[in-house]
Structure 1
Amino acid sequence: MMHMPGNPNPSRNQPINLNHYATKKSVAESMLDVALFMSNAMRLKTVLEQGPSSQYYATLITLISISLLLQVVIGILLVVIARLNLNEVEMQWKLNQLNNAATILVFITVVVNIFITAFGAHKTGFLAARTSRNPL
């Protein structure tokens, strides 16, 4: 690769704007949080439709509710983090603490969702409806 005189991409040599970086990161995390929230809402609907007769009904309702609550808290934290300015030195410690809290809550949410998946490992939704109505 040859280097031409002059810099063809002057933005490469400029320092990264930490505030923009943190905001983009928070937006990406928020999108993932929304996707997981929707997935858990569908799981909750499925469990409620199956009714209390299903084997792990109470366990799944509890775990899904905990996960949904954690996701709301994480979402609020991410909005707060995105609104604060990382370029202000006096805000960096607070932002770091909020980011650590969000990371811990995301980890707990992942663990809870692993248990949700483990306890809900049976046919649900479209596949169960199709096989019960029209067995092939």
Structure 2
Amino acid sequence: MHRNSHSDGSDISTDEEPLFRQSSNEESRVNVIRNINTYARTKTIAQGFLDIALFTANASQMKHLLQQGPEIQFYYFLFVLLCISIILQLIVAALLIYKGSKNIECDDPERRLSDRVHLLNNIVTGLILVITAVNVFITSFWFSPPQATLEDQRLSQVVTCTNC
């Protein structure tokens, strides 16, 4: 890929051009995005990293839930919610990989690819909203270890002192 000269009047940007370019009019402080494809890829990568972080947290929660076993309150409800969240995250990851592979600058004249990518972006945003809602329910129904009462603490102190 070669760099287009700015003097030839071409509006086609390459990956080598800067993402933001200061406008020539010094009174206007608006930065113009020169390469929208680079911006879209960067945004998709950021979404992917956030998806990976949430996936890791859900996998850790699933491990903890399975270690505790079905005797805890809301076990099956939490298990189903964690499965839904993990499956949706895998779907979002696949859609982000597909979306990131598309070059929206080299679009066809009817802008079909660009329209599909925008629709895909809206679907991914909707799925992320659903994943967030599911994770709010997971967090609100998540169990906490039982708090030791003052009597339990005294009893454990007595037992440890008799072993001294």
- Alignment TM class, shorter chain as reference: 0.7 to 0.9
Which residue does 1:111 correspond to in 2? Answer: 133
Which residue does 2:60 correspond to in 1? Answer: 42
Determine the C-alpha separation between the residues in 2 that align with 1:123 and 1:96: 45
Determine the C-alpha separation between the residues in 2 that align with 1:61 and 1:27: 29
Which residue does 1:90 correspond to in 2? Answer: 112
Aligned sequence identity (%):
34
Q: With the length of structure 1 as denominator, give the TM-score of the two structures.
A: 0.80
Instruction: Within 5 Å, give how 1:1-136 maps onto structure 2.
Output: 11-13=21-23, 15-87=33-105, 88=107, 89-123=111-145
**Structure with a larger share of its residues in helix:** 1
Which residue does 2:14 correspond to in 1? Answer: none
Letter in 2 for 1:123: P
Aligned residues: 118
Letter in 1 for 2:47: E
Q: Which runs of 4+ in 1 moved over 4 A?
A: none
Determine the C-alpha separation between the residues in 1 that align with 2:94 and 2:133: 20
Letter in 1 for 2:62: L
Gaps of 5+ in 1: 1-8, 125-134
The higher radius of gyration belongs to 2
- Residue 22 of structure 2 aligns to a residue in which SS? helix
